[in-house]
A and B are shown apart, each in its own frame.
Chain A
Amino acid sequence: MSHGLLFDSTRCIGCGACSAACKEQNGLPLPIEKETTAYTWTVVESRAGANVRRLCMHCLSPTCVSVCPVGAMRKTAAGPVVYDSKLCIGCRYCIMACPFGVPKYQWDRAVPVVGKCVLCAPRLAAGQPTACAAVCPTGATAFGEREALVREARARIASEPGRYVDHVYGLEEAGGTSVLLLAGVPFARLGLRTDLPNEPMPMLTWRVLAGLPDGIAVGAVLLLGVHWITKRRAEVRRAEGGADGAPPGGPGEPRP
């Protein structure tokens, strides 16, 4: 039941309706900037003769959620990765961790918070599509259940192989994302990362973290053993010194 978006770059004319509707839906101040900021959550960029949207990919296993120390970022069952500014402590770890460079910070505010696309979570809860998908005049941004969108994306590639690069971006990247992309030019030329692992990014952390309990247990046993041996040896030496009289150089040696 997880929802998402399918953005088809070959259908986008760059009209900017998505950006405008996003501003309206989320009460963000104008103008619509050239690139995403804490106040502009989606933009259309013109690259390599194509139009491509920039927005949060809404990863299935989001790195921002994984690194947030206070749980301000949360992946919901409905699909969106939502953000709670009331919990945020402003550490900006999410900004550093996101493989797509999505979360942005309000650098101009005295009490700043993070800004990013939340996949219109309130609209989804009301059973509506995202604002960007609702206003898109060409159907370049389509809203639906992720499984259905994956099928649709594959069907489009199969029916018009000359039109599309044979790849659904977001199907596997960083463990899969709720936002899927289709394009007619290689994704790298659209400014999208093609060097991301197909395993969920938080696994990089988990692999280390999962080893920690074992490491601590082994380390503890080892240190306790060393402590016991050292203590035992001291006891033995003291006992032996007691039998022979005072050890050489010990405090029991009478001064001349």
Chain B
Amino acid sequence: MRRVGWHRAGPARALWLGALLIAVTALGGPPAAAAPTSRDTLRRAPIELRLPADIVYARAPGDTGAVVFRHGTHVALEGDRCTGCHPRPFTMLRRGPVPRHAAMDAGGSCGSCHDGRRAFGVRDSVACRTCHAGVARDAAASGARAASGAPRVPAPHVFPRGGDSPGPVTFRHDRHLRGAKGCADCHPKPFRMAAAAPLRAGGMHEAAGCGACHDGRRAFDAADPEACGRCHAGAGGTP
């Protein structure tokens, strides 16, 4: 009795359905041809990333502050890939133990990327506060910051006055991030992320330095004599 059942529904119908399926998928079908192609739709369709919540590591004795790990800033730098950090050094399905600085210094945990080459080093004394920034006591403020998605950036860098320089330069990450899409606009080229990396004295006006953006098109021209004061404190020009 069973045999009769699948003889009836058997090869002929499967063949026809299969042929129809192949024809439809191969030709795309007349309605699909009239509609915008799926690739265009794909490009336009925004894919919302639901990343895990911020991970807060409480301040330990000797730290400058608690560490708040954000997935958003890290995944953007990894080209939206999760496999750079998962499942090693960090597990995904359950939270591992609190990362220890000793392990990071030895190149494990955060230190596997924050090694001074791929990202600022975990032993870089200038960068401490980039991670150990502390958590805002006000829950609402912290929520607002998390919602804004603005990354925490390193403290301003002060470059002392060089030989023929009109004055010292204070570089502010926050101001530059306003005009940039993300960290990757300036890192690792022209500027390596390791904060301790020496910046070449002079030549910063060139394309290998600030001039990469300050070319008169993307941002004001570094060579513009009227603009010196916008970077060099105590120099002439519009501040």
Interface residues of A (CB under 8 A from B): 10-11, 13-17, 19-21, 23-25, 30, 32, 49-50, 131, 134-135, 137-139, 160-167, 172, 184-188, 194-199, 203, 206-207, 210-211
Contact = CB atoms under 8 A, between A and B. Distances in A.
20 contacts: A13-B49, A14-B81, A15-B81, A17-B86, A30-B87, A137-B49, A137-B51, A137-B82, A138-B49, A138-B50, A161-B31, A162-B36, A165-B25, A172-B17, A184-B42, A186-B26, A196-B18, A198-B13, A199-B9, A211-B3
A188 B25 contact: yes
A21 B25 contact: no
A13 B42 contact: no
Interface stretch (B88-96, B141-149, B227-235): B88-96
Contacts of A20: 82-83, 86-87, 92
Main secondary structure of the interface of A (DSSP, over half): loop
Contacts of A138: 47-50
Contacts of B92: 17, 20-21, 24, 131, 135
Given A135-B92, A137-B82, A186-B28, A163 B42 contact: yes
B81 A16 contact: yes
Interface in B137-174: none
Nearest to B29: A166
B32 A166 contact: yes
Contact of A184 (B3, B41, B49): B41
A134 B51 CA distance: 11
Contacts, number: 125
A184 B39 contact: yes
A203 B10 CA distance: 9
B77 to A, nearest CB: 13
Interface of B: 2-3, 6-7, 9-11, 13-15, 17-18, 21-22, 24-26, 28-29, 31-32, 35-36, 38-39, 41-42, 45, 47-51, 75, 80-83, 86-88, 91-93
Residue among B13, B39, B82 facing the most chain A CB atoms (10 A cut-off): B82
A21 B93 contact: yes
B25 A199 contact: no
A50 B41 CA distance: 12
A19 B83 contact: yes
Nearest to A21: B92
Given A24-B91, A167-B21, A184 B50 contact: no
Contact of A15 (B18, B29, B82): B82
Contacts of B29: 166
A136 to B, nearest CB: 9
Contacts of A49: 39, 42
Contacts of B81: 14-16
A163 B49 CA distance: 19
Contacts of B82: 15-17, 20, 135, 137
A186 B87 contact: no
